[in-house]
Structure formats: C-alpha cells, structure tokens
C-alpha cells in the first residue's frame, strides 16, 4: 500500500521569507510525486510533479520541490512567499503513472502567509 | 469556461435518499476520475474511466456507490440509501489518455453532499 504524510497541519510564514511544506511518502516501487494547491471555493490545481530525472523540479507560481529518495521526501519550497500563496497544499503519490493516475493524497497543509 | 464542471455544487438530503452527481470533463480528455474529500482530509480515490470503460472500481466505498460514463463523455456518481457518513465533497477530475498523459489531473470544484 502507498501512503503520504504531511506532518504539519499548518505552516505560518511572513511575506518575503522562504517557505517549506513537508511531504514524505511510502511506496513499493518507483514513486511519481505531485503537489496540488486548493484555494477557497476552487478546485485542486496542479503545481508540479516529479517523474524521473533531475531531483529538483520547478512548477507554477515560483514553487519548486526536491525529490530525496533516501529520505523518501518531496518537500515543496518557495524562496520568497507571497500573501496570495495562502492556501491548502496537498502532496500526492502514485506508482502507476500511466494506469489511471490513481493518486494517494496526504492530509494537506494549510499555508498562511502574513504581510 | 472549458474546465471540469460538476453539478450540483451542493446537495442536502435526508438519510436513506438516493443522490446523483454529474461531472462534465474537459472535452478532449479520455480519462475521468472520482475522488471523495472529507473535512480535514486529502482526496480519496474512488474510481476511474478510460472513455466509457470503468477500469478501476474496487475502491468504491460500498455497493451503495456506483458510477457510469455511458458515452465516454460525462459521468454520474450515484449514492443509494445515503448515510450521514457519506457527507463529504465529491471531486471529479479528468486527464488525457495514454500518449498524451503528463500525469496532471484537472479537477472540478466539487459537489458537496450533506446528509441529515
């Protein structure tokens, strides 16, 4: 069985400071990892993915994430947070990339960026 | 708007009633997914379709849950004899099929079910 853990329910950061949202995963086989963001009253939106290759992946809105196989982690990062980044962030994993994208999601982390 | 649309956005029903949710995917997408999201949790995979074929349904929560995609376009998710534990947000997503699949899912805004 595969699982995703997001150990922080909420992350608070001041605008302009760097942010990190943590994610660890457990799978049998090679992981395909994703980050999605959910704004209030909006559907989940794709941010970025790791499939293969470079461990540092860049995505939308200046976000990036680093795949660390030895630590089974895929933390989301941004060098300088914006108030508009405040939202709910979900990490997800699958091991069957082309078999339906049946993602297993973490419980989510609420990011609060204060002016 | 050419995104994934879901209807209704909010459904309030009494325990024991049947409810049906509709999802219209992005028109060129072959794959359609249903997820459930309860308060404070991440989305939980329920089932998915490749065109009209339902390729995975073992994770539907009980035999009260069923989904169809009869013509490979829109899909419906039906819950029979609703229970209070069915109260949740039901999310639909779509993606391109094999060959065009980037791994990204495109989600609708969800249908919120409240069972009284």
Report residue B35 as tokens.
């997820």
Query: Rg for chain B (alpha carbons), in Å?
Result: 14
β-strands B10-13, B111-115: how paired? parallel
Q: Using an 8 Å Cβ cutoff, are A91 and A105 in contact?
A: yes
Give the number of other CB atoms < 10 A from CB of residue A106: 25
pLDDT of residue A24: 98
Q: Would the CB atoms of A90 and B41 count as touching at under 8 Å?
A: no
pLDDT at residue A99 is higher than 60: no
Stretches in chain B below the pLDDT threshold 70: 1, 98-101
Q: Distance, in angstroms, between A47 CA and closest chain B CA? A: 9
Distance of CA A69 to the CA centre of its chain: 15
pLDDT of residue A10: 97
pLDDT of residue A100: 57
Block residue for tokens 């992946």: A57
- Residues in A closer than 8 angstroms to B104, CB to CB, are 34, 46, 49
CA atoms within 13 A on the CB side of A2: 22
pLDDT > 90 in chain A, percent? 78
Bridge partners of B84?
none
pLDDT in tens, B86-113: 999 999 999 987 666 677 899 999 999 9
- Residues in B closer than 8 angstroms to A52, CB to CB, are none
pLDDT of residue B111: 97
Between residues A107 and A40, which one has the greater pLDDT?
A107
Phi-psi region of A100 (alpha: psi -120 to 50; beta: other; left: phi over 0): left
Helix (H, G, I), strand (E, B) or coil at A43: coil
pLDDT of residue B99: 63
- Chain A touched by B70 (CB under 8 Å): no
pLDDT of residue A43: 87
The arithmetic mean of pLDDT across residues A42-46, rounded, is: 91
The arithmetic mean of pLDDT across residues A39-54, rounded, is: 89
Q: Which of A43, A100, A108 sits opposite B108 (nearest CB)?
A: A43
Give burial (CB, 10 Å; 0-12/13-18/19+) of A7: exposed
pLDDT confidence bin for A81, thresholds 50/70/90: very high
**A83 phi, psi to nearest 5 deg:** -55, -35
Q: Using an 8 Å Cβ cutoff, are B103 and B2 in contact?
A: no
Of the residues A52, A103, A106, the best mutation for testing chain B's interface (the one with the most B CB atoms within 10 Å of its CB) is A103
Who contacts B63 (Cβ-Cβ below 8 Å, separation ≥6)? Answer: none
Q: Using an 8 Å Cβ cutoff, are A90 and A76 in contact?
A: no
């Amino acid at each position: 069985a595969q699982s995703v853990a997001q150990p922080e329910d909420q992350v608070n950061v001041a605008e302009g400071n760097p942010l990190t949202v943590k994610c660890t995963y457990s799978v049998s086989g090679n992981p395909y990892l994703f980050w999605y963001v959910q704004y209030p009253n909006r559907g989940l939106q794709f941010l970025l993915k790791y499939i293969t290759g470079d461990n540092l992946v860049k995505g939308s809105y200046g976000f990036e994430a680093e795949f660390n196989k030895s630590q089974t982690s895929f933390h989301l990062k941004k060098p300088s947070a914006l108030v508009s980044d405040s939202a709910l962030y979900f990490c997800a994993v699958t091991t069957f990339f082309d078999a339906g994208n049946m993602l297993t999601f973490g419980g989510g982390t609420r990011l609060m960026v204060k002016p | 708007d050419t995104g994934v649309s879901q209807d209704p956005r909010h459904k309030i029903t009494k325990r024991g009633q049947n409810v049906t949710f509709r999802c219209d995917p992005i028109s060129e997408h072959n794959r359609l997914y249903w997820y459930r999201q309860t308060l404070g949790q991440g989305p939980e995979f329920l089932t998915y379709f490749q065109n009209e074929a339902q390729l995975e349904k073992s994770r539907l929560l009980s035999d009260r849950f069923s989904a169809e995609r009869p013509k490979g376009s829109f899909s419906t998710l039906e819950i029979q004899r609703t229970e209070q534990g069915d109260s949740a947000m039901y999310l639909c997503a779509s993606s391109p099929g094999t060959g065009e699949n980037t791994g990204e899912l495109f989600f609708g805004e969800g249908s919120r079910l409240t069972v009284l």
